Structure 1
Amino acid sequence: MKKILYFSLIICLMSCQSERLDMNSEAFTIQKSSSTAANKQTETVVIRFTEGLSITEKAAIRASYGVVAYETCSCGDKNLESWDLEDIYEGATIEERVSSMEQDPVMEGADFNFNINISSQVPTVAAATTIHYQQILSKIHSQKADVCIGVLDTGIDPSYFGFQQPFLHNSSSDEENCDGDFFGWNFVDNNHMPIDDNGHGTIVSYLAYQQLENTGTNFEILPAKAFDATGNGSLFNVGCGLSYLIKKDVNIINMSFGWTETASTIIGDYIKEVEQRILIVTSAGNTGANNDVVAHYPSSYTTRNILAVTAVNNATPPNLVVSLSNYGQVSVDIAVKGVGLPFYTMPDAAPISITGSSYSSAKATGFAASKYHASMELSVFYDKILIDKIQSDGLHQIKYASYLDL
C-alpha cells in the first residue's frame, strides 16, 4: 500500500536535497534543475470510482482486479486512485483488465498511467532560493477575490520579485480543505507546500499576473503542483491536481502542458463535468504539428470550455513559426505572441528569453481573467475574450484565424 502518513512526508521532505524544509528557520531551500524526457508506465493504471462507494466496496473491487498496491490523491478527488497490477491475474492480462474497468459500472473511467513532461524553456542556471513563511503569508489574499485562476504546473515561488501585491488564494478558509492547505497543494510530495523547484510554474503564473496587475481586477492564483523539479509529472498527479482545482471552484484553470495521440478518459471527464462553469486555457504544443491530424491533449478535447492557444512570433501581424507553432482549424483556437519573451529572473539582471505556447496560454489566461464577472455564463465569458481577437490572413490554419495582441 502506498498510503503514507502526512508526518512521514514532512520528514522525507526535510531530507530531500531538491526541496528541504528547515523547521527551525521556517524556510524552504529549492534547487532548480532542467527538464528531462518522460516514459510511459504500462504497469500502473489510473481509475476513478463512482461516487458513494464504501471503503469495504472499494477494497473488494481492488481485489477483484489483482491490485498489489494503490495510491489515493493526498488532496482532491478521493475516488481517483493509481493501481499497480499483477501482470496476469485469474488468466487476464493488464490490458484485458483495463478494458473491463472501462465498462465497469462501479468506475467512471480507467486509463494507463503515463508520464507527462513540461518541455518548455525554463531558467537553466541552478540556483538555491530560500523562501520564508512570511514571504508566503504576505502574498496571500485575506479575502476571496472576484476571479480565481488555478495553475496546474510545477508550483510557484511566492518570493519571486515580480509578485508585488497579495495574489495567492487563501485556501485555508475553503470548505473543501486538506490538512495544512493554505495556498495550494503539492501532489508530487503530497504536502501543503506547492513550491516551484523547476521554474516553469512561476513563469506561467507571473505572465498571467502581469496581464492583470494594472487592470484593477481583483484576482487570485491557486497553484496545484503536479510536476517535479525535472518537469516530469504522471497522469495520476495531473488528475489529482485538476480535481483539486475543480473542488476549489476556481473560475479559470491554466494547463500549460500536453501530450499527444492518447486521450485520457478521466481527464476528459473532469473537463466535461465543468463545461458550463470553468474555462480551461491550454497550450497547443511546440512542435509545429497539425493537431487536427495528431491530437494534442488537453488542448484537443472538444468541450466548449477549452481555449487552445498557440504561440506566434513578434512580427506585425504575427505569424505561425514552422518549427514551433502547433495549428489546426478545428483544435487550435487563438494565437498569442510567445517567441523570445523577456523574463527577468532578478531585478538587476538581463532578462532571459523564453519561447513556447506554455507562455502564450499563460498570457491568455491572465487576459481572460480580466474579462470575468461573477455569475457570468461560460459561453458569454468565452465570447467576451474573443471579442478582442484580431483577424490575420497569415493565421488561417487555426480556428478563428486571429490573435490576441498581448
Structure 2
Amino acid sequence: MIIKPIPYQTALLTLCLLFFVFATCKKSTSVGQRQPAPFRPNEVVLVYPSGLSQDKRESIRKSLLLRYQIRNVETCICDPSIERITAENVHQAITTDTSSRPASTSTRLGVQGVEMVLSKNVLFQQPIGQRNRGPVPFDFGKKRGNLRIAVIDTGIDTTDNQHFSSASFSHFLLPSTAANYNAVGITDPNRINRSRYFGWNFFTNNQNIKDDHAQQHGTVVTGLILSQVTETAPSIIYLKAFDASGSSDLFTIRCALKFAEKAGAKIINASWGYDDIEENDALRDAISSLEKNNILLVAAAGNNGHNTNTIPHWPGSFSNTTNRGFNNVITVATATTGGICLPNSNYSENRVDVAIAGRGDNCSFVDVFDATGQLRETGTSYAAAIMTGVIANQFASDPMPPPLKTTVLNRVLNGQPDIPSLSGKVRTKKRIVQ
C-alpha cells in the first residue's frame, strides 16, 4: 500500500475540527454560571460576638496565632469585634481543623466556648456600567436636613471642583466634629482633622475621602442621589470603602456598615455587590444589625443580566421575600416599559423590589454633571442611587417606621402603574422614571 501525504489544507482542516471538538467538550466556566465568589486565600474575616471582653478576644487571638502562624491581625477602626487575619492558606487550615466545608463562604465555629463567624475575605465589585465623561460643576444649594445617608463607595470629588462647586459641600456633607467621630468609637483627637468632612477612608484609615476612581463612580452616585432632592437635602456620611479600581472586600465592607450604623445613618446606599451561590454569615449578621436599628439598605441588583434566584447578587439578594430575607433591604434594577434592560441589569421576582428608568423611559440615566443633559450613564449602581434619592426626598422630615421595605415602597410607589413586562422580573412590577 502506498500512503500518500495529506495535503496541507486537509491537515489544517483536521486540526481545526479536533480543536473544535476538544473545546466544545470542555466544561464551561463562563460568567453567569454558579461559581463561588472570588476571595483572598490568605485572609479570613473573624467576627466575635458583640460585647465580648477585650481579654477574651485577646485570649482567642493568641490561641489562633500559635496554631495557624498568623502574620497579621487588623481590627476594624470602629468595631473591635471585626478582624482581618492574614496567614498562609488560613481559611483552608481553619475549616479543615473544624471539619467545616472549605468551599463554604462562611461558617460559625466555637473557640474557647465562644461562637464566632469565620468567613472568606470575599471580594466585592461595583456593578459599574458605562459613563461618558464631561463634568461641569453641580451647584447644589439645598438646605441640609437631619436625615443621614451613608454612601459607601469610591469617595467623592471634594478638591478639584470639577463636579460640585466648592460652595456645595457644606449643603450635604456633615462637618468633622469630635461628637460625630466619638459616636463611632474614634476618640483620638489626633485622628480628627476639623478642616475636613465627616467620613472615613478604610484603606488609609483617615478622613481622606477623595474619589480616585477613573470613572468617579462615588461622585456620580452622590450626584444622582442629590438630583432627586427638591427641598431639604440629606446629610451624607461619606465612607470610602472601594479603591481606585472599584474593588473592596468583606472586611472593609463589614467595617463600613458598622461605621454607618454607629454614625446614625437611616439609609445606606450600596451601589455594589458580588455574586455567590450561597449567602455569607458575616454579611448576614451585619444586615440583621441594621434591621434591628431600623436602617434601610438600598442595593444595586447587579449588571450581569441574570436571574438572582439562580445566581444571587449580595447584599441585594437579602431582599428575598421567600427565604431568610430582610425587610430593610430594597434592591433596584434598571427597566423601561419594555422590560428589564438586558444585558445590563439583573432581575428576580423575589429578590428585586423595584426598577428605575432613565429620563424619557430610557435604559440609561442623564449625567447630572452634564449641562446639556445629553450624556448618559448605564448600570444598576446608578439606579440604586436614584432610588436612594427618591426615598430621601420623601422621608426628609418624616420617620420611617418598620417594616421599612413596606413603609418606604408604599409611599414612593404610590400611584405608579404596574408594568406588565416586569411580571416575574421585579417583585412590585413597578418602575420609577428618573
Provide the TM-score with structure 2 as the length reference: 0.73
For residues 97-149 of structure 1, the C-alpha deviation after alignment (integer angstroms, 9 at most, x for no partner) is 5767613263442210022122413658799xxxxxxxxxx99999x832111
**One of 310, 315, 331 as aligned partner of 2:333:** 310
Cross-structure match for 1:206: 223
Cα distance in 1 between the residues matched to 2:415 and 2:164: 27
Corresponding position: 1:335 with 2:341: no
Cross-structure match for 1:110: 118
Cross-structure match for 2:86: 84
Pairing 1:4-15 to 2, within 5 Å after superposition: none
Larger Rg: 2
**One of 63, 69, 83 as aligned partner of 2:72:** 69
Contact 1:344 1:351 in 2 (8 A): no
Q: Which SS does the other structure have where 1:79 is aligned? A: strand
- Cα distance, 1:342 vs. partner? 2.8
Q: Which SS does the other structure have where 2:339 is aligned? A: coil
Cross-structure match for 1:265: 281
Contact 2:109 2:118 in 1 (8 A): no
Cα distance in 2 between the residues matched to 1:211 and 1:256: 16
**One of 170, 185, 192 as aligned partner of 1:180:** 192
What amino acid is the match of 1:58?
A: R
Cα distance in 2 between the residues matched to 1:287 and 1:220: 32
Contact 2:41 2:89 in 1 (8 A): no
Flag the 1:111–1:337 CA change in 2: closer, same or farther, 3 A: same
| RMSD (Å), alpha carbons | 3.2
Contact 2:132 2:376 in 1 (8 A): no
Q: Which SS does the other structure have where 1:267 is aligned? A: helix
Cα distance in 2 between the residues matched to 1:122 and 1:189: 28
Cα distance in 1 between the residues matched to 2:175 and 2:338: 38
Question: How many residues are treated as equivalent by the alignment?
Answer: 352
Flag the 1:211–1:41 CA change in 2: closer, same or farther, 3 A: same
Cα distance in 1 between the residues matched to 2:42 and 2:131: 33
- Cα distance, 1:271 vs. partner? 1.1
Flag the 1:226–1:351 CA change in 2: closer, same or farther, 3 A: farther
**One of 211, 225, 231 as aligned partner of 1:196:** 211
Structure 1 window deviating more from structure 2 (255-264 vs 158-167): it is 158-167
Structure 1 window deviating more from structure 2 (262-271 vs 54-63): it is 54-63
Cross-structure match for 1:280: 297
Q: Which SS does the other structure have where 1:294 is aligned? A: coil
Cα distance in 1 between the residues matched to 2:115 and 2:141: 38
- Cα distance, 1:205 vs. partner? 0.8
- Cα distance, 1:378 vs. partner? 3.0
What amino acid is the match of 2:282?
A: I
Contact 2:152 2:241 in 1 (8 A): yes
For residues 290-347 of structure 1, the C-alpha deviation after alignment (integer angstroms, 9 at most, x for no partner) is 011111100111100010000124xxx3521231221111001100015332326565
For residues 323-381 of structure 1, the C-alpha deviation after alignment (integer angstroms, 9 at most, x for no partner) is 1221111001100015332326565x885431000000100000001121444313333
Cross-structure match for 2:419: 392
- Cα distance, 1:194 vs. partner? 1.3
Flag the 1:403–1:124 CA change in 2: closer, same or farther, 3 A: closer
Q: Which SS does the other structure have where 2:73 is aligned? A: strand
Cross-structure match for 1:11: none
Cross-structure match for 1:22: none
Pairing 1:207-226 to 2, within 5 Å after superposition: 207-212=224-229, 215-226=230-241
In percent, how many aligned pairs have the same letter?
Answer: 28
Which sections of structure 1, spanning at least 5 residues, go unmatched? 1-37, 128-137
Cα distance in 1 between the residues matched to 2:387 and 2:134: 29
Which sections of structure 2, spanning at least 5 residues, go unmatched? 1-36, 101-106, 319-324
Flag the 1:57–1:86 CA change in 2: closer, same or farther, 3 A: farther
Cα distance in 2 between the residues matched to 1:54 and 1:290: 43
Q: Which SS does the other structure have where 2:227 is aligned? A: helix
What amino acid is the match of 2:63?
A: S
Flag the 1:168–1:82 CA change in 2: closer, same or farther, 3 A: same
Cross-structure match for 1:299: 316
Provide the TM-score with structure 1 as the length reference: 0.78
Pairing 1:114-129 to 2, within 5 Å after superposition: 114-121=122-129
Flag the 1:139–1:323 CA change in 2: closer, same or farther, 3 A: closer
Cross-structure match for 2:34: none
